[in-house]
Amino acid sequence: MTEEIARPERPLFTDLTRKGLQDWCESNGVPSYRVDQIRQWIFGKRVNSFSEMHDIPAKVRAQLAEEFRFWAGRIVRHLVSSDRTEKLLLELGEGDLVECVLMREPDRCTVCISTQVGCGMGCIFCASGLDGVKRNLTTGEILEQVLRVDRLLSLEERITNIVVMGMGEPLANLRSLLPALDTLNEKGGMGLGARRITISTVGLPEKMRELARHGTPYNLAVSLHAPNDTLRTEIVPTNKRTGIEAILEAAEEYFQITGRRVTYEYVLLAGRNDGPEEAKQLAKLLRNLNAHVNLIPMNPVAPIDLAAPAEPRTKMFVEMLQHGGVNVTVRKRKGADIDAACGQLRLTELSLGK
């Protein structure tokens, strides 16, 4: 026979949950205390291969390397901004590009991760949705972004926060996302408290309810972007199917069940949703809820003809919300010189939307 038989790709190690690794150890005669040891090497000690796990018997290391891939993909680009924000473009499988970002502040290191290749939501200002969604990431591929960023840090630095605000709609991929977040949350995993992990959603009420019942109270951010359904459906097409009211109800339920106050994200688009009328309506809508508004001046996306309002108009919007009794902050812009906003680096790489 001359044709080579294609060897099926080995499974990705980080797709195994803790329980999965327990089962593997059990069926391979490896004592169960090795489970935490192995996971500690990956999530705590920043190794890049099984062979570096010194205190694991050589035979077990060799077997792991034979059966599993350590990494799902490769780093295509690594950019460092003047404000020390760093961005990685990863290729996970052929042509499947995703981005992850490291943002540094004096007291924290936040990683922004993606959950899908592309996005199916089609928000009119967003770079990730320009070409639709290609596929969901797996649990290991989601974790890999955090692990790759972790390996960029100095010995003294630690990841302190995770925001699931990269490419894709996280709640459309809960099945892969939750085991990944639970690993990051796990003691002996990365040990990040649930309050240090934030999931941002376009607002899928059913899925928000499912998340509320998951049992670990992660922070939830809802991308609202408009105070009424007509405008929201123009900006966020999926709103046609959900409507604002159902989203706010699900968000209140999220608060009741988890005790976590929901954040509403609102991208300011000059001339579209940034006027006094919208500010008034938004205040009225959220005033009596357990809400916090995070205003995000639109980050420019090359093929999209929308922009952030000028500073005074943003200020007016903030003041009107405060006046209306709503908690509000304006998101700081980080990594502007390296295309750090949602999906933009991939866009450049693929020449999407041209």
3-state secondary structure of 277: helix
3-state secondary structure of 70: coil
Whole-angstrom distance, CA of residue 224 vs CA of residue 118? 20
Comparison of 35 and 338: residue with beta carbon closer to ligand SAH: 338
CA 49 to chain centre: 25
For the bound state, the minimum distance from the C-beta of residue 61 to ligand SAH, rounded and expressed in Å, comes to: 38
**Binding positions for ligand SAH, 191-220, rule CB under 6 A:** 200-202
Here the tokens at position 170 are 């996280």
Catalytic residue list contains 342:
yes
Whole-angstrom distance, CA of residue 25 vs CA of residue 34? 8
For the bound state, the minimum distance from the C-beta of residue 265 to ligand SAH, rounded and expressed in Å, comes to: 4
Catalytic residue list contains 25:
no
Comparison of 60 and 263: residue with beta carbon closer to ligand SAH: 263
Here the tokens at position 45 are 């000690």
Options 159, 208, 211, 342; binder of ligand SAH; rule CB under 6 A: 342
Whole-angstrom distance, CA of residue 311 vs CA of residue 318? 11
Active-site position among 109, 112, 119, 342: 342
Options 223, 242, 258, 273; binder of ligand SAH; rule CB under 6 A: 223
Rg (CA), the chain: 21
Task: Give the count of residues interacting with ligand SAH (CB under 6 A).
Answer: 18
Options 103, 286, 338, 341; binder of ligand SAH; rule CB under 6 A: 341
For the bound state, the minimum distance from the C-beta of residue 309 to ligand SAH, rounded and expressed in Å, comes to: 12
The contacts of residue 115 (CB under 8 Å, 6+ apart) are: 136, 137, 142, 164, 166, 167, 168, 169, 170, 172, 173, 176, 177
Q: Applying CB under 6 A, does 92 fall inside the site for ligand SAH?
A: no
Q: Applying CB under 6 A, does 169 fall inside the site for ligand SAH?
A: yes
CA 45 to chain centre: 23
Active-site position among 86, 99, 169, 265: 99
Please say whether the beta carbons of 289 and 320 come within 8 A.
Answer: no
Whole-angstrom distance, CA of residue 149 vs CA of residue 180? 15
Q: Applying CB under 6 A, does 125 fall inside the site for ligand SAH?
A: yes
Q: Which one of 20-28, 82-90, 122-130, 249-257 is the stretch in contact with ligand SAH (CB under 6 A)?
A: 122-130
Please say whether the beta carbons of 260 and 217 come within 8 A.
Answer: yes
Helix (H) or strand (E) holding 54, with range, is: none
Options 60, 102, 103, 126; binder of ligand SAH; rule CB under 6 A: 126
Comparison of 169 and 182: residue with beta carbon closer to ligand SAH: 169
**Binding positions for ligand SAH, 273-332, rule CB under 6 A:** 296, 298-299, 301
As annotated, the active-site residues are 99, 342
Interaction site with ligand SAH (CB under 6 A): 121, 123, 125-126, 165, 169, 200-202, 223, 265, 267, 296, 298-299, 301, 341-342
